[in-house]
Structures are given as C-alpha cells and as structure tokens.
Amino acid sequence: MANKGFIDAIYSVAIPNTQFGKCFTFEPNEGLISPGGFQPISVVFSSSKLGEFDEAFEFTIDGKPEKYQLIIK
C-alpha cells in the first residue's frame, strides 16, 4: 500500500464474516503510512474446504469517507 498524500495515513482492513473470508489473514491488518511511504501487506489464505469464492475486503483510511475494496477470487 502506498501513501501518495501529504499527511499520515492510518489504515485498517475489515475481514468479512463469511465462509472463506475467515480463511484470510492480512499482516499487518492496520497501521500508519507516512507521506510518500509504502507498506507491504502479506495476504495468507488457508482453507480445508474446496470451492470457488469471491471475497471483498474493505480498507478504511482515517479521514476518508470512501472505503477501498480488494476483491480476491
């Protein structure tokens, strides 16, 4: 994740309470990114079930009303 703005960006990711959503972990799942800074985020999926899925993860950034979505299929 990159902060192209001029102020610190405090972010968090919401994990959906769905069958496959619970199988994902984000590390770190929240944090602060300085202006011009980057934050690598590791996404791990671990499931004992087979099947197709379509999960939307919402990233919230403090001070921004809109949320950003990451969709994993």
For 18-70, the pLDDT digits (tens) are: 989 999 999 999 999 999 999 999 999 999 988 899 999 999 999 889 999 99
CATH number, domain containing residue 47: 2.60.40.10
Residue 56, domain member (yes or no): yes
Residue 36, domain member (yes or no): yes
Q: What is the structure's pLDDT at 51?
A: 87
Residue 4, domain member (yes or no): no
Residue 52's domain comprises: 9-72
Q: Which residues contact 72 (CB under 8 A, 6 or more apart)?
A: 24, 43, 45, 53, 54, 55, 57
Residue 54, domain member (yes or no): yes
Q: Total structural domains in the chain?
A: 1
Q: Give the global pTM.
A: 0.83
Residue 53, domain member (yes or no): yes
